[in-house]
């Protein structure tokens, strides 16, 4: 057990252990995702309603916006694929089963979290990895990202007319009319926005409540966990400790 | 006694069925039925009123553009928007060219074969045809060789036994009276008119982007930007030049081909100035504003009503007196089918009650048409070129009156001759001539505005739906090629709540009303001679003289 | 016609021909004839006509159902070949209600004769939707329903060409709420061979090209997944548009009639559906290549796209409204409202949280225990 690692700002109990929860790939994927979403939303809003009207003969505003949009779209796709790979290759908190409340335990912890948010319970139950409610929310986000990517690719197919891309995604326009795909693509952007607001709020909130250093963890990878909790989650010896 | 059924009536737009009772060689009674319903008034509900014209225009692709105009006017009326002068002029030009185009196609391609026996043209001496052509018109295409070429073309069809469009005419019918030479002349001009119409309509491509179904209207104006210094402006000095060329072509064709042909053919069918008179009651909303759309005193065609063929008096017209009856039409009205409705309270609830197809005869005692029966103050009216010309003539119109008098003089006929089957044909030709001439004035006005720096083409005051009242309603009127067109729109919460179109062919081809009064077709067919009930050519002549458009009529 | 050989279209047509085993020389010959056509239309037509004069010309019957005749009118505006050349020299148009000489029984007799004598050999052109509701009573001709006639005529045809949106997929007739149960011919008469030429109306240049292709090669051109000829429907309008440079640069018309509008800037913000539309309007144009909607200052409404009336409207908005909110509401409104609501809820929760931190029991007493409870699943 490591000592002297207690972060004064976070002020966890002195006995708590610093655990390497978020491996680098998880953190990288997370921040690439965040970056892409910001860029994609900004350029997407411009594509939807070009609020800058150029007058100069040499400008290339829409062209640039679309270029950036599509390019960051592909970065996002790559980051997500990478993250999905890590669903299977990563540590136990990166795994896919963290996002779906399969076990009775996770379901009741999820209920617990809901009650906490609903002011029916004084304190949240600390977790080593994602709490199951957050996990479910991320699962939804991953799902929305997939839809956003598919619709984005279908829109791109319409522009590009490339045979490979078309055989990959062309079926979608047969299923759902291009215009509705565009509408869905545009509409989901707002869901990400709404998620972000709540997500950042709850990250700060839970970080404070758990005193686990949750906020820092998405940068550093480390969380502070009570030894009792660790052993109760039955992961005591198998985790990387510092 | 024979029941004659003509279904489909061809060389018209859409699906018209005529049933006639023929007694002793004459039509004793007639019923006019439209056999297609699409429900565009219903499809318009809930849509953005600013785009209503795009939808409404699809009521008809023959008189394309006219429903767009009436529709856009109805929404402008509801929202109280005045369009800039340039938009008014562009709209006049579009409408007038539609008028000329539609009339030329009607005469040559939809109506002529009722008067012209194509097969007889084979017997013509092209040299004589050339002489006739040169005696009636300075039109350059008149050589013997030219007519010989046309004759050879027709001959080729006959030898190959593939008459194409000319298959199945009532060729050799005793009612055909033109000498072979005139038939050949007409066939030649049939083909020339095919070329003319597609060239002249480039004017719609310039001002409307395409034809059919123009795409440059806006609630509040047009998209046809005007700018003397911009090569990309839709109207610039170069385009004005093109407009001028096209208008000049149209004037030449109408004056040197269309009008002389009408006079020449009419000369051989003088008895048709006595037949097909019809109702004798004429209605016209008036159109072609010189200023504001509300300033009806400056319309080119005046608004008004002529009753009982009396050209000495024009009555004022009040659109609130327009109603539609469904007593004999396949619809239901909430207040009972015998209570006609003004379009403000108009309903379109289709309810077919006719015979189960396939059928042989309609039950004409009951409901028998998809057309409603429009009435003015309870009275059936005829609308169309003849109505416009009659109303303008009776009002002493400075251009219409002399033009009509000149034509009547050439025909050696009194004004009363206008009220007939051939009268309609003549009125159409006179109108085309006047419209083609008038277009020059409008091109001049447009150029003048442009050079004076008046570039406004759209009034955007009410473009944003947030600026609209919660409820609004408006009516838009237009004198379409086939007559008086009205669209009534009701807007609630930025959407179309109700939409009603009362269309020229609905007026003319409508069925009987709750009082049993016949519509214009039905009346004008009475007493028509029918030499051979198997080949009712004469019935077609009178029906075609109205230029039926059933897509319009039912919508 | 000439259009087939416009630079952009050459490839797709060439491809389609090689795929179908038509040799290159024949193609090039066809093409050079076409290019020559551009300069001298009558000569080309005469040539084709001569080639065909030994054989009987193919018979065409043109059926109209729930339509506006806009596609017939459009055909009348064809330029090279013109309608006169087409119906008198190239084909035998034996049945077409708008133009044919005979009426009533005489007209019907022609149709019956064509079907009897040329079974499997004539081409059927269909214009207009086919209403199926209530036994088809919304469109009858000669007392027979549209579906009855269409089934008989199209089943006996060599191929059916659906001209215009209505005949392709029901068009405006089928637009919500589709009062008459209208559908396109492909859906109404399953199992027939159809070439769809969408558009409202169809561009006659393409139809002429399809017919010429058929006359020259004895088969229809290469088709896409909607059975539309690739040469006409394979490319996005936006990619061929003369205003495209303005789009990429970010120069947009802001208000109708503004300076940008007069200077030919991009109509994207005015609702142009060019980016969602495929058709060859910008290259072929309309009415003897005089103009096309965007050139005349109005946005494209994507009239050749599937179910365009419902999917591309409202025409002045970039994307459709969301139905099911009482009245249709734009996505952006819903989106911003949702974002606002979440922000408000978050703020409210934050305030609630601040209040409860003041008087709740210490964490030690609750949180871990509760977590224990929850982990053992006994709560
Ligand atoms: C995940 C976050 C994303 C967001 C928030 C987003 C947002 C948007 C928005 C708002 C639009 C404008 C829609 C309109 O009004 O027409 C748009 C268009 C588009 N997006 Fe995305 N997008 C995302 C991801 C992607 C991805 C992954 C791709 C795939 C390459 C993509 C490709 C496109 C394309 C091709 C367009 C159409 C551009 C055009 O029409 O010129 N987007 N996006
Ligand atoms: C639109 C932007 C964002 C999205 C879509 C997003 C999405 C996600 C997702 C999917 C996860 C799960 C990580 C994984 O297992 O891969 C996550 C975790 C996390 N994110 Fe974000 N994130 C966003 C922005 C942010 C921001 C701006 C912050 C911090 C200021 C943040 C802080 C965190 C933290 C602390 C976690 C771990 C929390 C936990 O497990 O409960 N995120 N985020
Ligand atoms: N009737 C009629 Fe029209 C005209 N002219 C419409 O308003 O033809 Ni289609
Ligand atoms: S597709 Fe358009 S032009 Fe053709 S019939 Fe239908 S509404 Fe008319
Ligand atoms: S006007 Fe329409 S088609 Fe042309 S570039 Fe702009 S958005 Fe594209
Ligand atoms: S509306 Fe139709 S005509 Fe062409 S420009 Fe658009 S596809
Ligand atoms: Mg009506």
Domains of chain C: 8-220 (3.40.50.700), 238-353 (4.10.480.10)
Tell me what pLDDT residue C20 has: 36
In which band, very low, low, confident or very high, does the pLDDT at C326 lie, cut at 50, 70 and 90?
low
List C-alpha distances in Å: C280 to C6, C34, C92, C113: 10, 18, 28, 37
Instruction: Name the C residues in 267-286 with CB < 8 Å from any A CB.
Output: 268-269, 275-276
Interface residue C107 vs chain A (CB under 8 A): no
Does C12 contact chain B (CB < 8 Å)?
A: no
Contact B198 C173 (CB under 8 A): no
pLDDT at B300 over 70: yes
Q: Categorize the per-residue pLDDT at C36 as very low, low, confident or very high, splitting at 50, 70 and 90.
A: very low
Lowest mean pLDDT among A186-200, B197-211, B437-451, C74-88: C74-88
Q: What is the pLDDT of residue B55?
A: 98
Pocket test for ligand 4, best of C161, C163, C166, C180 (most atoms within 8 A of CB): C166
Of the candidate ranges A196-205, A223-232, B533-542, C291-300, the one whose mean pLDDT is the lowest: A223-232
**In this structure, what token pair is assigned to residue B150?**
């046309």
User: C338-356 pLDDT, tens per residue?
Assistant: 999 999 999 999 999 999 9
Tokens of C47: 């040539």
Nearest-angstrom CA–CA distance, C339 and C329: 16
pLDDT level of residue C85 (50, 70, 90 thresholds): confident
* Residue C176 CA, ligand 7 centroid: distance in Å: 18
Q: What is the mean pLDDT of residues B253-274?
A: 97
* CA separation for the pair B210, C290 (Å, rounded): 8
ipTM above threshold 0.85 = yes
pLDDT mean over B102-125: 97
Please indicate, yes or no, if residue A4 is contained in any of the structural domains: no
Give the CA distances from residue B365 to residues B31, B52, B329, C112, C341, in Å, rounded to whole numbers and listed in that order. 10, 37, 11, 31, 63
**CB within 8 Å of C204: residues ≥ 6 apart:** C74, C75, C76, C77, C78, C79
- Greater confidence, A233 or B355? B355
| Contact yes or no for B223/C296 (Cβ under 8 A) | yes
For A173, nearest residue in chain C (alpha carbons): C306
A140: in domain: yes
Burial bucket for residue B469 (CB in 10 Å: 0-12, 13-18, 19+): exposed
In this structure, of B302-316, B353-367, B503-517, C7-21, the range with the lowest mean pLDDT score is: C7-21
Structure tokens at C272: 């142009």
**Averaged pLDDT of chain A:** 87
- Of the pLDDT bands very low, low, confident and very high (cuts 50, 70, 90), residue A105 is confident
Average pLDDT over residues B363-380: 98
Neighbours of chain C (3+ CB pairs under 8 A): A, B
Residue A161 has what pLDDT? Answer: 78
Q: Which residue has the higher pLDDT, C144 or C374?
A: C144
pLDDT band at A7 (very low <50, low <70, confident <90, very high): low
pLDDT above 70 as % of chain B: 100
A2 located within any domain: no
What average pLDDT does this structure show over B289-295?
96
| Residue A7 falls inside a structural domain | no
Q: What is the C274 CA–ligand 5 centroid distance (Å)? A: 5
Arithmetic mean of pLDDT, B144-151:
96
On chain C, the residues whose CB falls within 8 A of the CB of A109 are 371, 374-375
Helix, strand, coil shares, percent, chain C, to 5: 50, 15, 35
Assigned domain for A1 exists: no
Q: Which H or E run contains B29? A: strand B26-34
User: 3-class SS at C165?
Assistant: helix
Residue C51 has pLDDT above 70, yes or no: no
Q: Are C306 and C175 in contact (CB under 8 A)?
A: no
* Interface touch B357/C263, C-beta < 8 Å: no
Please state, rounded to an integer, the average pLDDT across all residues of chain B: 97
* C208 vs B470, higher pLDDT: B470
Confidence of residue A15 (pLDDT cuts 50, 70, 90): confident
| Tally of CA atoms within 13 A in the half-sphere of B403 that contains its CB | 23
Per the domain annotation, does A13 fall within a domain? Answer: no
pTM for this entry: 0.92
Pairwise CA distance, residues B431 & C65, whole Å: 32
Beta bridge partners of A29: none
Q: Quick check: C65 contacting B, CB < 8 Å?
A: yes
CB distance B12 to B550 below 8 Å: yes
Enumerate the residues of chain B whose CB falls inside 8 A of the CB of residue C287: 198, 201-202, 204-205, 210-211
Residue C378, chain A, CB below 8 Å: the answer is: no
Question: Of C250, C312, C342, which is closest to A198 when you measure between CB atoms?
Answer: C342
Containing structural domain, residue A163: 19-240
Does residue A149 fall inside a structural domain? yes
Among the bound ligands, name the one nearest to the CA of residue B323: 7
A 73-112 near C (Cβ less than 8 A): 104-105, 108-109, 112
Nearest CB to B10 within list C68, C97, C179: C97
Q: Is residue A14 part of a domain?
A: no
Name which of A125, A181, A184 to mutate to probe chain C: the one with the most chain C Cβ atoms within 10 A of its Cβ.
A125
Average of pLDDT values for C12-18? Answer: 38
Query: C283 — contact with chain B (CB < 8 Å)?
Result: no
Give B57-102 as a DSSP string: HTT-SSSTTHHHHHHHHHHHHHHT-PPPHHHHHHHHHHHHHHHHHH
Chain C contacts of B102, Cβ < 8 Å?
Answer: none
CA distance B522 to B26: 14
Query: Which residue, B402, B405, B413, B409, is CA-closest to B437?
Result: B402
Q: Which protein residue's CA is at the shortest distance from atom 2 of ligand 6?
A: C303
Angle of the A104-117 helix axis to the C363-376 helix axis, nearest 10: 150
- Asked whether at least 3 C-beta pairs link B and A within 8 Å, the reply is no
Residue A208 reports pLDDT greater than 90: no
Residue C8 has pLDDT above 60, yes or no: no
Across the interface, whether the CB atoms of C144 and B358 are under 8 A apart is answered yes
What residues are in contact with ligand 3 under a 6 Å CB criterion? B 13, 60, 62-63, 66-67, 480-482, 485, 503-505, 549, 551-553
- Which DSSP helix (H) or strand (E) runs through B152? helix B144-159
- The proportion of chain B whose per-residue pLDDT surpasses 90, expressed as a percent, equals 97
C-alpha to C-alpha distance for C163 and B164, rounded to whole angstroms? 20
Q: Which residue has the higher pLDDT, B420 or A132?
A: B420
By Cβ distance, the residue of C66, C109, C148 closest to B168 is C109
Q: Give the pair of three-digit tokens for residue A96.
A: 């896919």
The mean per-residue pLDDT over the stretch B359-382 comes to 98
**Cβ within 8 Å, pair C83-B535:** no
- The confidence score (pLDDT) of residue A227 equals 80
Dump pLDDT digits (tens) for B422-476. 999 999 999 999 999 999 999 999 999 999 999 999 999 999 999 999 999 999 9
pLDDT over threshold 50, residue C377: no
- In this prediction, residue C361 carries a pLDDT of 83
User: What is the C-alpha to C-alpha distance for residues C36 and C33, in angstroms, rounded to an integer?
Assistant: 5
Beta strands in chain C (DSSP E): 59-64, 92-96, 123-127, 130-131, 140-141, 144-145, 159-163, 182-183, 194-197, 321-322, 329-330
Contact B60 C142 (CB under 8 A): no
Q: Quick one: which atom of ligand 2 is closest to the CA of A145?
A: 5
Structure confidence by residue, pLDDT tens digits, C250-264: 999 999 999 999 999
The CATH number given to whatever domain includes residue A89 is 1.20.950.20
Alpha-carbon distances, residue B489 vs B70, B71, B76, B551, C315 (angstroms) = 10, 8, 10, 20, 19
pLDDT confidence bin for B165, thresholds 50/70/90: confident
B12/B8 Cα distance (integer angstroms): 9
Nearest to B162 among C57, C78, C135 (CB): C57
- pLDDT at B270 > cutoff 50: yes
Q: C144-171 burial by CB neighbour count: b if 16+ within 10 A, else e?
A: bbbbbbbbebbebbbbbbbbbbbbbbbb
How confident is the model at residue A10, as a pLDDT?
A: 61
How many domains, chain A? 1
């Amino acid at each position: 057990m490591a000592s002297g690692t207690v972060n004064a700002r976070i002020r966890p109990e002195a006995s708590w252990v610093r655990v390497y929860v978020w491996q680098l790939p998880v953190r990288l994927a997370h921040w690439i995702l965040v970056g892409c979403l910001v860029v994609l939303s900004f350029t997407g809003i411009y594509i939807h309603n070009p609020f800058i009207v150029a007058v100069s003969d040499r400008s290339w505003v829409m062209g640039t916006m679309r270029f950036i949009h599509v390019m960051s779209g592909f970065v996002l796709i790559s980051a997500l694929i990478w993250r999905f790979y890590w669903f299977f290759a990563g540590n136990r908190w990166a795994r896919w089963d963290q996002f779906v409340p399969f076990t009775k335990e996770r379901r009741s912890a999820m209920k617990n979290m809901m009650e906490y948010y609903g002011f029916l319970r004084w304190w949240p139950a600390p977790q080593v990895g994602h709490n199951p409610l957050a996990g479910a929310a991320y699962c939804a986000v991953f799902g929305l990202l997939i839809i956003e990517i598919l619709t984005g690719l279908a829109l791109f197919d319409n522009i590009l007319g490339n045979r490979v891309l078309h055989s990959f995604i062309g079926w979608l326009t047969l299923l759902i009319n291009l215009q509705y795909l565009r509408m869905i693509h545009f509409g989901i952007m707002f869901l990400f926005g709404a998620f972000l607001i709540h997500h950042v709020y709850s990250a700060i909130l839970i970080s404070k409540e758990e005193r686990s250093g949750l906020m820092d963890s998405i940068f550093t990878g480390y969380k502070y966990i009570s030894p009792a909790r660790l052993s109760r989650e039955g992961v005591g010896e198998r985790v990387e400790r510092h | 006694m024979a029941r004659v059924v003509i279904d489909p009536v061809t060389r018209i737009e859409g699906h018209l069925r005529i049933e006639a009772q023929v007694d002793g060689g004459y039509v004793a009674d007639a019923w006019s039925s439209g056999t297609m319903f699409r429900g565009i008034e219903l499809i318009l509900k809930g849509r953005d009123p600013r785009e209503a014209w795009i939808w409404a225009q699809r009521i008809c692709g023959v008189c394309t553009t006219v429903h767009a105009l009436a529709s856009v006017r109805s929404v402008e009326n509801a929202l109280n928007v005045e369009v800039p002068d340039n938009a008014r002029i562009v709209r006049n030009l579009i409408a007038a060219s539609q008028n000329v185009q539609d009339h030329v196609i009607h005469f040559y391609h939809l109506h002529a074969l009722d008067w012209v026996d194509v097969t007889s043209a084979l017997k013509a001496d092209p040299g004589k045809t050339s002489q006739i052509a040169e005696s009636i018109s300075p039109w350059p295409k008149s050589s013997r060789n030219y007519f010989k070429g046309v004759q050879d073309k027709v001959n080729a069809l006959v030898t190959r036994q593939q008459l194409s469009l000319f298959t199945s005419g009532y060729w050799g019918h005793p009612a055909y009276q033109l000498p072979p030479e005139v038939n050949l002349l007409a066939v030649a001009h049939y083909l020339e008119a095919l070329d003319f119409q597609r060239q002249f309509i480039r004017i719609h491509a310039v001002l409307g982007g395409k034809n059919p179904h123009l795409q440059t209207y806006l609630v509040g104006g047009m998209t046809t930007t005007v700018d003397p210094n911009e090569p990309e402006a839709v109207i610039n000095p170069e385009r004005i030049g093109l407009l001028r060329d096209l208008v000049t072509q149209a004037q030449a064709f109408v004056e040197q081909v269309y009008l002389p042909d009408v006079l020449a053919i009419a000369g051989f069918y003088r008895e048709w100035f006595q037949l097909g008179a019809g109702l004798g009651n004429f209605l016209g909303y008036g159109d072609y504003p010189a200023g504001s759309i509300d300033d009806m005193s400056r319309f080119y065609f005046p608004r008004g009503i002529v009753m009982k063929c009396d050209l000495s008096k024009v009555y004022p017209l009040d659109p609130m007196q327009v109603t539609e009856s469904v007593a004999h039409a396949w619809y239901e009205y909430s207040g009972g089918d015998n209570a006609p409705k003004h379009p403000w309270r108009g309903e379109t609830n289709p309810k077919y009650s006719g015979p189960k197809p396939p059928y042989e005869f309609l039950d004409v005692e009951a409901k028998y048409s998809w057309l409603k029966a429009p009435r003015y103050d309870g009275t059936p009216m005829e609308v169309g070129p003849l109505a416009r010309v009659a109303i303008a003539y009776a009002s002493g119109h400075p251009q219409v009156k002399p033009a009509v008098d000149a034509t009547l003089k050439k025909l050696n006929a009194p004004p009363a001759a206008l009220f007939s089957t051939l009268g309609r044909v003549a009125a159409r030709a006179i109108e085309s001539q006047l419209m083609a001439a008038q277009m020059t004035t409008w091109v001049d006005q447009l150029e003048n505005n442009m050079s004076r720096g008046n570039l406004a083409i759209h009034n955007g005051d009410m473009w944003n739906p947030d600026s609209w009242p919660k409820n609004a309603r408006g009516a838009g009127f237009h004198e379409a090629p086939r007559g008086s067109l009205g669209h009534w729109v009701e807007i609630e919460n930025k959407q179309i709540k109700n939409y009603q179109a009362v269309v020229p062919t609905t007026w003319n081809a409508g069925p009987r009303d709750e009082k049993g009064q016949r519509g214009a077709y039905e009346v004008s067919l009475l007493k028509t001679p029918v030499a051979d009930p198997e080949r009712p050519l004469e019935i077609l002549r009178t029906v075609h003289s109205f230029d039926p458009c059933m897509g319009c009529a039912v919508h | 016609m000439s259009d087939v050989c416009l630079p952009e279209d050459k490839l797709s047509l060439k491809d389609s021909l090689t795929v179908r085993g038509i040799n290159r020389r024949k193609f090039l010959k066809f093409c050079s004839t076409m290019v020559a056509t551009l300069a001298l239309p009558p000569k080309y037509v005469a040539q084709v006509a001569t080639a065909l004069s030994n054989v009987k010309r193919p018979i065409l019957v043109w059926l109209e159902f729930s339509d506006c005749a806009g596609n017939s009118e459009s055909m009348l505006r064809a330029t090279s070949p013109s309608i006169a050349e087409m119906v008198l020299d190239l084909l035998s148009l034996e049945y077409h209600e708008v133009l044919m000489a005979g009426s009533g029984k005489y007209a019907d007799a022609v149709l019956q004769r064509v079907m009897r004598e040329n079974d499997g050999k004539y081409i059927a052109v269909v214009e207009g939707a086919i209403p199926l509701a209530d036994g088809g009573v919304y469109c009858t001709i000669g007392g027979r329903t549209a579906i009855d006639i269409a089934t008989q005529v199209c089943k006996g045809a060599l191929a059916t060409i659906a001209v215009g949106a209505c005949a392709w997929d029901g068009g405006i007739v089928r637009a919500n709420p589709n009062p008459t149960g209208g559908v396109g011919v492909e859906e109404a008469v399953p199992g027939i061979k159809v070439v769809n030429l969408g558009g409202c109306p169809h561009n006659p240049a393409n139809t002429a090209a399809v017919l010429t292709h058929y006359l020259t090669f004895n088969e229809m051109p290469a088709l896409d997944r909607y059975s539309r000829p690739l040469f006409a429907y394979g490319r996005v309008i936006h990619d061929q548009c003369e205003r495209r440079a303005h789009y990429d640069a970010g120069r947009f018309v802001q208000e109708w009639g503004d300076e940008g509008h007069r200077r030919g800037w991009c109509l994207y913000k005015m609702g142009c559906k060019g980016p969602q539309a495929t058709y060859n309007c910008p290259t072929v144009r309309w009415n003897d290549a005089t103009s096309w909607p965007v050139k005349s200052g109005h946005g494209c409404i994507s009239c050749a796209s599937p179910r365009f009336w419902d999917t591309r409207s409202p025409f002045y908005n970039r994307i459709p409204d969301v139905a099911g909110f009482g009245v249709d509401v734009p996505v952006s409104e819903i989106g911003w409202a949702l974002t606002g609501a979440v922000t408000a809820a978050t703020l409210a929760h934050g305030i609630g949280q601040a209040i409860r931190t003041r008087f709740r029991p210490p964490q030690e007493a609750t949180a871990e225990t509760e977590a224990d409870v929850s982990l053992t699943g006994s709560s």
